[in-house]
Amino acid sequence: MKPESVRIDKWLWSVRVYKTRSLASAACRSGKVKIDDIEVKPSREVKLGDIVVVTINPQFKRTLKVLKLLDNRVSAKLVPDYAVELTPQEEYDKHKLHNELNWERRDRGVGRPTKKQRRDIDSLKDGE
């Protein structure tokens, strides 16, 4: 049985954009989910053909087109049957670069940073 309409938070959870439905609802409430350039509430119904833009972090916006409606979460292999990824490659490149630049690495067994090391790390992050 195919549903006639599905809530946006449930659809985002079902196609694995968010790990939990409550995270999807929180993203909708905080204005990170848009349909047709309009911020939506978690209760907004999704229709076939809608373009959904999800802001993951300030640097990355993921764009999806609704192909089918579904009630339950599907495996990652089946997601392309329900949503088409319209996100340009530049967004992925920007997201990858952001993750690489913000990576902190400490050798295994070194332990937590000292107060001085923490200050040095913070000053590097702030660009001072």
CATH number at residue 16: 3.10.290.10
- Residues 73, 12: contact at Cβ < 8 Å? no
In a domain, 117, yes or no: no
pLDDT digits (tens, 9 = 90+) for 15-65: 999 999 999 999 999 999 999 899 999 999 999 999 999 998 777 899 999
Q: Which residues of 110-128 are buried (b: 16+ CB within 10 A; e: fewer)?
A: eeeeeeeeeeeeeeeeeee
Please state the domain count of the chain. 1
For residue 58, the model assigns a pLDDT of 76
DSSP 3-state assignment of 70?
A: coil
In a domain, 44, yes or no: yes
Q: Which domain holds residue 14?
A: 6-100
Enter the DSSP assignment of 74. -
For residue 7, the model assigns a pLDDT of 95
In a domain, 112, yes or no: no
pLDDT digits (tens, 9 = 90+) for 52-103: 999 987 778 999 999 999 989 999 999 999 999 999 999 888 888 877 776 6
Taking alpha carbons only, the member of 62, 33, 68 closest to residue 48 is: 68
For residue 1, the model assigns a pLDDT of 62
In a domain, 28, yes or no: yes
Global pTM value: 0.75
In a domain, 118, yes or no: no
Residue 120 scores a pLDDT above 70: yes
For residue 99, the model assigns a pLDDT of 74
Residue 59 structure tokens: 């640097």
In a domain, 128, yes or no: no
Counting residues of the chain whose pLDDT is more than 70, the rounded percentage is: 96
